[in-house]
Amino acid sequence: MANQANKLVIRQSCFNWGTKTYLMGILNVTPDSFSDGGEFNTIASALAQVRAMIAAGADIIDIGGQSTRPGAQQVTLTEEMERVLSVIKVIRPEVTIPISIDTTRASVAQAAVQLGADMVNDISGGTYDPEMLSTVASLDVPIVLMHIRGTPQTMQEYTQYQDVMGEIYDFLSEQINTAITLGIKREKIIIDPGIGFAKNHQQNLQIIRELSRLKSLEVPILVGPSRKSFIGQILNQPNAKDRVWGTAAACCAAIFHGADILRVHDVSAIRDVSLVADAIYKCS
C-alpha cells in the first residue's frame, strides 16, 4: 500500500484506507435478485431498509436495479432507470452517507449521479458499455471495477482458468490503466475480484485466500461474499438469508487478507465482525 492514496473523501465521508474496514450495504430494487428479490422494490420498503442499514453502521449504500445473479436476464434501459432513479430521488435528501449506483450502463450512471449518487459500481469493470469509463471520468466520481467473464446469463460457463488470481490481477490491472488513460484519477478507483462471477466454489475460496495478491495494484479492494452460493455449499444451506454466519467467516478472512470494503446484506452482523477483525488485524 506504499503508493496507494491512503484516503478518499466522498460527500462528507472520509475513507482512510488500511485503518478500518468499510461496509457497503446492498439495496436491490429488483424483483429477482438471488437473496432479496422483490423485498425492496417499493419506495417505502427501500427507504426503510436504507435507514436500517445506516443505523446498523453502513458506510455506503449500493443501489442496483438489474439483478446479476447467475442466469439473470438483462432488463431494459428504461426499466433500470425507472427502478433506480425513483429510489435515489427519495433517498438522497434523507441520507448523508455516499450512495453508489450498481450499473453497467453509462447512461444510468450519469442519470444517477446527476440525481445525487456519489460513485459507480460496475460489475463488468467498465467493459460492457464502451462509454462507461469516459462517462465516470467526466462525472469525476469514484468507480468500483469488478472482474467478470461473460455476462450474468453466461458467466458460469467461463470458470476455466490456468491461474484464477493471476488472470483476475491482469484484468483489473488493465482496466485500472484504461480508466486512468480515459481520465479517471487513480485515487478514485476501487477494485473487486468478483466472487461468484464466473468463478466456481473452489475458485471463490482461493480468491479470499489469495486476496493480498491484489494489494500491489495499489488501489482499495472491495469484496462481496455476502450470502453467496459457495457459502451455501459449505454449510449445506439452500436459503441465502440463513448464510449470515458463513458470510461472517468469509468477511473475517477477507479482512485478514486485505479487504478495504465489504459489500453485504446483513450490515448489523458484519459490523460486529469487522469491528473485532479490525481490532485484531488493522489496529497497531
Asked whether the predicted pLDDT for residue 32 surpasses 50, the reply is no
Q: What does the CA dihedral 182, 188, 193, 198 come to, rounded to 10 degrees?
A: -50
Specify if 266 maps to a domain. yes
What are the backbone dihedrals phi and psi of residue 172, each rounded to the nearest 5 degrees, phi first?
-65, -35
Specify if 222 maps to a domain. yes
Asked whether the predicted pLDDT for residue 162 surpasses 80, the reply is yes
Task: Give the domain extent around 85.
Answer: 21-279
pLDDT score at 39: 54
Specify if 229 maps to a domain. yes
Quick count: other Cβ atoms within 10 Å of Cβ 98?
24
**Nine-digit cell at 156?**
458460469
Question: pLDDT tens digits, residue range 113-147?
Answer: 999 999 999 999 999 999 999 999 999 999 999 99
pLDDT score at 67: 81
SS3 call for 144: strand
**Which residues are catalytic, by number?**
228, 263
CA distances from 209 to 1, 83, 94, 212, 258 (A): 18, 36, 38, 8, 10
pLDDT score at 181: 99
Angle between helices 132-139 and 164-181 (to 10 degrees): 50
Asked whether the predicted pLDDT for residue 97 surpasses 80, the reply is yes
Q: Which amino acid is at 151?
A: T
Q: 22-40 as b/e, with b when 16 or more CB fall inside 10 Å?
A: bbbbbbbbbeebbbbeebb
pLDDT score at 76: 94
Say which residue the cell 438522497 belongs to.
92
pLDDT score at 284: 61
pLDDT score at 166: 98
Specify if 107 maps to a domain. yes
Asked whether the predicted pLDDT for residue 35 surpasses 70, the reply is no
Specify if 5 maps to a domain. no
Pairing of strands 222-223, 99-102: unpaired
pLDDT score at 71: 75
CA pair distance 8, 15, nearest whole angstrom: 5
State how many domains the chain has: 1
CA pair distance 138, 113, nearest whole angstrom: 11
Regarding pTM above 0.85, the answer is yes
Quick count: other Cβ atoms within 10 Å of Cβ 197?
25
Question: pLDDT tens digits, residue range 205-220?
Answer: 999 999 999 999 999 9
Task: Give the domain CATH number at 175.
Answer: 3.20.20.20
Q: What is the mean pLDDT of residues 230-239?
A: 97
Q: What is the mean pLDDT of residues 78-83?
A: 93
Quick count: other Cβ atoms within 10 Å of Cβ 55?
10
Specify if 216 maps to a domain. yes
Question: pLDDT tens digits, residue range 253-271?
Answer: 999 999 999 999 999 999 9
pLDDT score at 2: 40
> How much of the chain, in percent, has pLDDT values that exceed 70?
94
CA pair distance 90, 46, nearest whole angstrom: 9
Q: Which amino acid is at 214?
A: L
